[in-house]
Structure 1
Amino acid sequence: MVTSLNVDDQHRLVEAIRRIDAMSVQRERAVHVQALERDLGHRLDYARHDKEMLDVWALVDALLNYPGAAHALVRILRTFYPSSLPVRALGELVAELLPEPWLDQAERRELHELITSLERADPSLSHLGRFPMLYRRAVGPAWPQLDREVRSLHDVVALLEEMPAGRDGAPPLLLFVSDLAEYAGYPTATPFRDWVRRQVEAQGLNGAVVGRGRFPEVPRAEPEPAENYLIIECAPDALEADRYLVTAWLQVGREPGSTLRCGDEPLPLSRIPELLERLLTSESSVIGRPSPDLTIEFLLPRALLDEPVEQAMINIAGFEHRIGIRYPVIVRSLDRMRMAALHHEWRHKWDWLSGHSVDAPVCLLGQPGEYDKEELYSKLSGTSTAVLALAFPPWSRADDEPDEHWVGLVAGVPVVAWCRDGRDPAQFAREVKGLLAADVMKLPRRAMDLRRQALSGGLAGSGSGHLGLNLTLLFDDADRIPEPYVRLRPPA
């Protein structure tokens, strides 16, 4: 626990909170806790309980674990209930028991937002192995080691904020964040350094003590270049059913996409390869992209999701070939992107998958009608069911009746793979097992490798049944939403 109170004092805080009408009922209390989490810039990690006393006690535990959290709760309650005597009493008790933290509200929130950005940049959490070492460097030998496995950098920062400055006058938190900036690399290093610089100036500290000269250089890997994405949207034209308004973006990493083409002239599908070839060979921003890797994403309406877009032929320097063997090619759902009501489940599953992408569970369907639609939706609604594989293509019907593929999208499943020509269920299960094993986040590149394998063994002839020539991969990153669609993560 960061701020330690004896049992009697903690009980006083619990009772003071329970005397506030809006905090005495769990449902209403949850609303104020959500407001508190938004104010802090991170979630409060504590176990909820059905019994009111235990639930409030757990909440107080969480408040004590994060400097400034109790003060922030009082500030929020005063905003909601400015004339409440119980709220005033809680504020006086917090002021009596808990000293004001040295970081102000805005600076603490900015730090936690930067940490969240770092965690999103490394969803596999591979960076966690370095935190104990950085912690030890910051606190020195006088403080104990971390007594548990580090699961959240927010917790480490809260712990360090409560530790007093050492003999050199440098708070351990600033030393830790300074080292973290050097380790994190692009694109989070500069904001971390700017944050440390402001704290050094505000506290009147010696910048050389806090900066890189205090310790030997922290060994770190060079930052990986940002991924490049060429996104092709095909929106149905309102007047001509067989033509589409085509928009193209280039997106680097998670930066906003730059528009390369905003079509006001509807095109038939047969013209898409020609447009794609022009973008790849003549568009300066695509040719001069920061790194050679490029993923091509087709943002398609439901009626086009089964189109073999990765089989489109392009001619580069006189060599004609399928785009699916040169670049990772995936499809994304235009309909889901346009339906804000479907975004919550989609984002929730993507967030889970980002942190559990190695050997993620797969829901495998061998034939249509295997489940009733509601039964299938219930099966897919669990957070950990984020990958769906089907041995059969979507329905080719013109109506909007939902099939298994659409039920998966409505349930928020971000990764769906299927065989366009239909498959024996047992054969498909064998073929797709290796494709979906290991890290799901690398699935687009593995699908490209499978397409190359289909052609490397003399299987390029028409009618070939190799899965690499018949695989559609829908891979919908809920963190990357091209303009002009609403971003799924609201601004802090």
Structure 2
Amino acid sequence: MHDRWRLRGRLVALLEESPTIRSTAGRQLFLQELDTVLGGPPPRREHEVLHLQLVELVKSCAEQPGALRSLAECLESLEPNTRRVAEVYRLVDEWHVTEVFDGHEVWWLREELHRLRGREVLRHLLVAARSPEAPPYCASAWHVLAHLSGLNAVDGMPPWLRFLDAVAPLLPPEAESRLQALAAALADNWGMGAQLTALRTRRSEPSPGPSMAYLVIQFEKYGGDDDSYIVSYWRQWASPVWQPIRGEDQRVERDGLEAAVDRIVLRTESDWADKDGPVTIEFVLPWELLNTPVDAWRKELSSPSPTPLAMDYPVVIRSLDRLYARQWHRLWRSRWRQLTDGSGHPHPVYYAEPDQNDIRLEAILKDEAGIVAMVLNQPPTPRSPGESQALAGLRAGLPILIWHRSQVVDSSLRSLVAALLGVGTSTESELAQLPVRMAQLRRRAWTEDTAHREQHVGHGLSILWDDPDRQPGRIWPPDSAPKEARND
């Protein structure tokens, strides 16, 4: 009860500070808006003291399901994008905490979860909770937990319970143990002890190998200049939470991109000299560079014998255009979750036909919910059928696209690709190992005799492997310009 008194008092104080509410005309408009939303008049009695009127208003809304949320929304319509409105939303969310966790001590979590901030951290936790992106006013894990407390269950389990289980490993050991005990007690109260145990069992199963570290290198065209790009990069050593370190942006001429990548790779390897484990390199490319053979680019260019990147790393491509096309992200996340859940759909790979390069292909992909990967019939060069096929796959949310950079995938090459990659009848759980298998294929290609090396299929295959949970974000503010690339 004390917590509810505190929340009500703070809500009243915020409303009393509002210039809209302090104005008689503004207050009447606010009450009319609230009346319309609630379908009935809130208390309209005028008091000589504004504070008393607001106490009565907040008390009345607190007694009606959803009315406090409506109060916040009406205030937002009159005072959009203000800190006051954001704080009102947070207090309304905390009111849900008092309802959902009634009888349990949870307020100690506020301080612990306030330490967990950053959009990527919160996005990771929301993915684990199978919940949509948090509202902009959620700046910490505590705000997200409070927000989830007012949402309905997903797949039979409240999102706040999934969230508590996901966030526990990010806390200090003592707080982690205390939170796990709290989550178990809450699950028992809600009759979900078995579901929580099953969820924890799945998460505790050993992974097939050591956690992967990532170096993400992104190219974006510099304004209207066709010959130069902004080269940006992010890197992170193995961690369950995507919180990469961002490197320095550079403007690079197109013919200098390989040298710029060489410098980034060597700098990263030098900084990671004391670490041990696998590293994947991801190239985030715009449409016009999608067919670039980045896996064949070399490192140690100044040495007598530079080494192809594919010799040392799994190298995958990502789509810059999809990162920026947020209208495609919902389907993308859905297909990615299907891939990583390992649900084992019998036909997860689709092979595009030569005449499938329009809206019909997109309709087929969207209609077949089990598809997570597609082999393009031809490379996605600009204004080609392969580009149209790639666009259909991205719009349908497919996280995996495979193609040969110089050949049409006819029946013979299709069979060879299926046999070499093992994707002809694979399940999603097997496809999850595709970047590693592709890396092995490419290394085998480099062991061929010089006379036959270029004929090996491993030299021509490209793989677009797009994880929606590792988004580097926009690369540089409009009002700042990256430094010119060095020529050393």
8 Å contact kept, 2:214–2:235:
yes
Shift in CA distance, 314/75, structure 1 to aligned 2, threshold 3 Å: farther
8 Å contact kept, 1:243–1:267:
yes
Counterpart in 1 of 2:460?
470
Deviation of 1:238 after TM superposition, in Å, equals 2.0
Deviation of 1:154 after TM superposition, in Å, equals 4.5
1:256 matches 2:256:
no
Identity rate, percent: 23
Q: Distance in 1 between matches of 2:292 and 2:413?
A: 19
Deviation of 1:247 after TM superposition, in Å, equals 0.7
The aligned runs of 1:86-485 (5 Å cut-off) are 101-103=102-104, 154=157, 192-195=176-179, 225-252=210-237, 253=239, 254-263=241-250, 265-268=251-254, 270-283=255-268, 286-288=271-273, 290-315=275-300, 319-356=305-342, 358=344, 361-370=347-356, 373-382=358-367, 383-397=369-383, 403-434=388-419, 435=421, 436=423, 437=426, 439-458=430-449, 460-461=450-451, 464-484=454-474
Q: Which amino acid is the alignment partner of residue 177 of structure 2? A: R
What's the CA shift string for 1:139-196, capped at 9, x where partnerless?
Answer: xxxxxxxxxxxx98958998xxxxxxxxxxxxxx9xxx8xx99xx9778967632525
Q: Which amino acid is the alignment partner of residue 456 of structure 1? A: T
Counterpart in 2 of 1:214?
none
What's the CA shift string for 1:200-222, capped at 9, x where partnerless?
Answer: 9xxxxxxxxxxxxxxxxxxx888
Counterpart in 2 of 1:145?
none
Deviation of 1:99 after TM superposition, in Å, equals 11
Q: Distance in 1 between matches of 2:346 and 2:171?
A: 28
Q: Which amino acid is the alignment partner of residue 315 of structure 2? A: V
Counterpart in 2 of 1:43?
none
8 Å contact kept, 1:353–1:384:
no
8 Å contact kept, 1:308–1:472:
yes
Shift in CA distance, 374/152, structure 1 to aligned 2, threshold 3 Å: closer
| Superposed CA RMSD | 4.7
Shift in CA distance, 357/261, structure 1 to aligned 2, threshold 3 Å: farther
Counterpart in 1 of 2:66?
77
Deviation of 1:447 after TM superposition, in Å, equals 0.6
Q: Which amino acid is the alignment partner of residue 392 of structure 2? A: V
Deviation of 1:406 after TM superposition, in Å, equals 1.2
TM-score by length of 1: 0.55
Q: Distance in 2 between matches of 1:277 and 1:312?
A: 8
Deviation of 1:307 after TM superposition, in Å, equals 0.7
What's the CA shift string for 1:43-89, capped at 9, x where partnerless?
Answer: xxxxxxxxxxxxxxxxxxxxxxxxxxxxxx9875242578xxxxxxx
The aligned runs of 1:24-103 (5 Å cut-off) are 76-80=65-69, 101-103=102-104
Q: Which amino acid is the alignment partner of residue 298 of structure 1? A: F
Counterpart in 2 of 1:87?
none
Aligned residues: 332
Q: Which amino acid is the alignment partner of residue 341 of structure 1? A: Q
8 Å contact kept, 2:229–2:252:
yes
Q: Distance in 2 between matches of 1:401 and 1:391?
A: 6
What's the CA shift string for 1:297-326, capped at 9, x where partnerless?
Answer: 110001110111101122387642211121
Shift in CA distance, 357/262, structure 1 to aligned 2, threshold 3 Å: farther
Deviation of 1:394 after TM superposition, in Å, equals 1.4
Shift in CA distance, 456/81, structure 1 to aligned 2, threshold 3 Å: closer
8 Å contact kept, 2:210–2:278:
no
Q: Which amino acid is the alignment partner of residue 405 of structure 1? A: A
Deviation of 1:385 after TM superposition, in Å, equals 1.9
Shift in CA distance, 309/360, structure 1 to aligned 2, threshold 3 Å: farther
Deviation of 1:275 after TM superposition, in Å, equals 2.2
Shift in CA distance, 416/75, structure 1 to aligned 2, threshold 3 Å: farther
Q: Distance in 2 between matches of 1:351 and 1:251?
A: 22
Shift in CA distance, 152/365, structure 1 to aligned 2, threshold 3 Å: closer
Q: Which amino acid is the alignment partner of residue 417 of structure 2? A: V
Deviation of 1:370 after TM superposition, in Å, equals 3.1
What's the CA shift string for 1:279-299, capped at 9, x where partnerless?
Answer: 232346743475421100110
8 Å contact kept, 2:348–2:370:
no
Q: Distance in 2 between matches of 1:190 and 1:154?
A: 26
8 Å contact kept, 1:232–1:299:
yes
SS where residue 355 of structure 2 aligns?
A: coil
Q: Distance in 2 between matches of 1:193 and 1:275?
A: 46
Deviation of 1:452 after TM superposition, in Å, equals 1.4
8 Å contact kept, 2:352–2:389:
no
Q: Distance in 2 between matches of 1:300 and 1:402?
A: 14
Q: Distance in 1 between matches of 2:227 and 2:295?
A: 20
Counterpart in 2 of 1:67?
none
8 Å contact kept, 1:359–1:440:
no
Shift in CA distance, 100/321, structure 1 to aligned 2, threshold 3 Å: closer
Deviation of 1:251 after TM superposition, in Å, equals 2.5
Q: Which amino acid is the alignment partner of residue 328 of structure 1? A: P
Shift in CA distance, 243/384, structure 1 to aligned 2, threshold 3 Å: same
Shift in CA distance, 401/473, structure 1 to aligned 2, threshold 3 Å: closer
Deviation of 1:332 after TM superposition, in Å, equals 0.4
Deviation of 1:469 after TM superposition, in Å, equals 0.6
Q: Which amino acid is the alignment partner of residue 193 of structure 1? A: S
TM-score by length of 2: 0.56
- Give runs of ≥4 in structure 1 deviating > 4 Å: 73-76, 98-101, 104-111, 116-123, 151-158, 184-191, 196-200, 220-225, 316-319, 357-360, 460-463
Deviation of 1:103 after TM superposition, in Å, equals 2.6
Q: Distance in 2 between matches of 1:99 and 1:416?
A: 43
8 Å contact kept, 1:330–1:444:
yes
